[in-house]
Amino acid sequence: MNLIDPPLHGNKFTYFCSDGIAASRLDRFLVSDGIMNLWQEKGQRVGKRDIYDHCPIWLECSNLNWGPKPFRFNNCWLEHDDFKSFIVEEWKKIQITGRKAYVIKEKLKIIRESLKKWNKEVFGWLDLNIENIVAEMNKLDRGIEEGCNLNEVVKKKEAKALFWQQLMMKESLLKQKSRLRWIKEGDYNTKFFHSCLQDRRRKNQILSLQVEGRCVEQVGEVKMEVRRFFEEGFKEASFSRPVLGGIEFQTLGSEENSFLVAPFSEEEIKDVVWSCDGNKCPGPDGFNLRFIKKCWEFVKDDIVEFLQEFQITGVLPKAITTSFLA
């Protein structure tokens, strides 16, 4: 049985030696993955001790609602035969005017909603699809046992091909969520992917915060404190800046200056996009760079126009620079 050590909150150590020098984490909960999901455990909390050398420890469970989950583009969609034609048709239907940053933001927003509907219609629930296909294959097996029917044999082959197609999609989705890039294609150890995915989620969770000596756990308070922390970090206290007068610096020549301020070319932008990891999501829109690469033929004009506009104005709207804190 694989046991998991849930994330620790509060004190780092559970045991303090009487000499006041040594400290260690002797006490802990080890639970199975099934119990973690059943009880919705969020971690272990270590309390403060009194005269004892061991600290109290609790196993905490929570089903708090932290808000809607952000959209994430699934790479398995790219393998579908109708994906590209669907995106081309939807992209061309969108007619939006305004600043280029606003145009591309709104287009991706509309495509995102269209993809959600398309995913439900085409893929549905993968686990349910696989379960239904297996049931159909078993039904066909019983029919073949009773009497060999050529039509049923053909249906069995089609069901088997569809089964492997659905399984490959599920594996691709688990790989993407688990963020494992070193796994080779064809490794169907879905239990391993699930374990890596859940472990990453547990480590990335912000379930409570220590603020001025008190523990903040409520959803609204945690969000407010996180926002306040970053707002304080980006504020600048007013102070007198030094003036560098009477110092001569080396300057760029006209040719070097022209090179630096030259407009972005389509080739330069494409080279940058192709040099990036396709699985990275650059913003809260949820579209990774594999989507941009796959659809470059018809999205490049909007991307190039947006970047060229930015080079002239030097302004990025909040919709482009926002980010999720997870």
> If residue 158 lies in a helix (H) or strand (E), which one and from where to where?
helix 150-178
Nearest to 317 by CA among 309, 325, 273, 94: 309
Pairwise pLDDT comparison (242 vs 294), residue with the higher score? 294
**Whole-angstrom Cα distance, residue 7 to residue 265?**
48
Provide, rounded to the nearest whole percent, the portion of the chain with pLDDT above 70: 74
Q: Quick one: which of 3, 15, 5 has its CA closest to 46?
A: 15
CA distance 279 to 282: 9
pLDDT score of 79: 79
3-state secondary structure 106-140: HHHHHHHHHHHHHHHHHCCCHHHHHHHHHHHHHHH
Q: Within 13 A of 151's CA, how many CA atoms are on the CB side?
A: 1
pLDDT tier, 144 (very low <50, low <70, confident <90, very high otherwise): low
Largest CA distance in the chain: 99
Does 208 have pLDDT greater than 70? yes
Residue with tokens 């005017």: 97
Q: Considering only residues 208 and 170, tell me which one the structure prediction assigns the higher pLDDT.
A: 208
The one-letter code for the residue type at 110 is I
pTM assigned to the model: 0.60
Nearest to 14 by CA among 60, 51, 45: 45
Task: Give the DSSP letter of residue 276.
Answer: S
Q: What separation in angstroms does the CA of 282 have from each of 72, 73, 131, 246, 267?
A: 11, 12, 35, 43, 20
Residue 145's pLDDT is: 62
First-to-last alpha carbon distance for the chain, in angstroms, is 30
pLDDT, position 186: 47
Residue 7 near residue 202, CB atoms below 8 Å: yes
Q: Which amino acid is at 195?
A: S
Distance CA 258, CA 256 (A): 5
Q: What is the rounded average pLDDT of the residues 22-33? A: 83
Per-residue DSSP letter, 67: -
DSSP-derived pairing of the beta strands 31-32 and 23-24? unpaired
How confident is the model over 269-296, as pLDDT tens digits?
Answer: 999 999 988 776 656 778 888 899 999 9
- Environment class of residue 166 by beta-carbon count within 10 Å: exposed (0-12), middle (13-18) or buried (19+)? buried
Rounded to the nearest integer, the mean pLDDT of the chain is 78
Residue type for position 61: C
Which amino acid is residue 318, in one-letter code?
Answer: K
